Amino acid sequence: MYVGSRNLARGQAAVDQLKAVGVQAQAVQLDVTNHESIVAAKERIADLDVLINNAGIAVDHETKPLELSLDAIRQDFNVNYFGLIDVTQVFLPLLKAAPAGRIINISSAVGSLTLASDTSTSIHRLQASGYQAAKSAVNMFTIKLAAELEGTSVTVNAVNTGWVDTSFGGGGNRTVQVGVARTVELASAETLTDSGTFSDIDGIVPW
């Protein structure tokens, strides 16, 4: 297992925690907004079965769409969408060389157009249009990449972790263990036929 981190020291600290519970891992410096960093990370990895695109940022700060700056929206997209695509394209040859490569894109239900347009949901009321649009874009990329790779050994799926209690989400209603459950399920399944799906621990999430 490799843990990509912009800050290598923080990545190593995460690896140390994994090793303490018996998980063997290595830290790799990786900034998804820097193409050279992505290429350098790929060159350190000999083989790869599963790519989990988990880098994320949200800088909307509950700003209304008409007041949200273009710079903030660009920040959301640079990490959540463009960075995800760059990493995927660079690492795809390793996944194609694996017996059963898997790409898991960490998306969010807040990017669901169906849920966001439903006035009865909290997602409809959420003010994070830059972050939400970036996650909607991730969902579209998941669909189109899965279609492109149909017939190959590589599957592509999007996962909604839910509102997880981390420093990123801030006081979420799901533990980390619950939040990662669906990702772990997809990554570790002995065989995987799902591709082009958007799901969480409760099942399919509407696009």
Question: For residue 11, how many C-alpha atoms fall within 13 Å in the half-sphere facing its CB?
Answer: 16
- Integer CA distances (angstroms), 38 to 26, 55, 57, 89, 145, in order: 16, 12, 18, 10, 19
Residue 50, SS3?
strand
Q: How many CB atoms lie within 10 A of CB 104?
A: 22
Q: What one-character DSSP code corresponds to residue 193?
A: -
Which residues are annotated as catalytic? 131
The neighbour count for residue 40, using CB atoms within 10 Å, is: 15
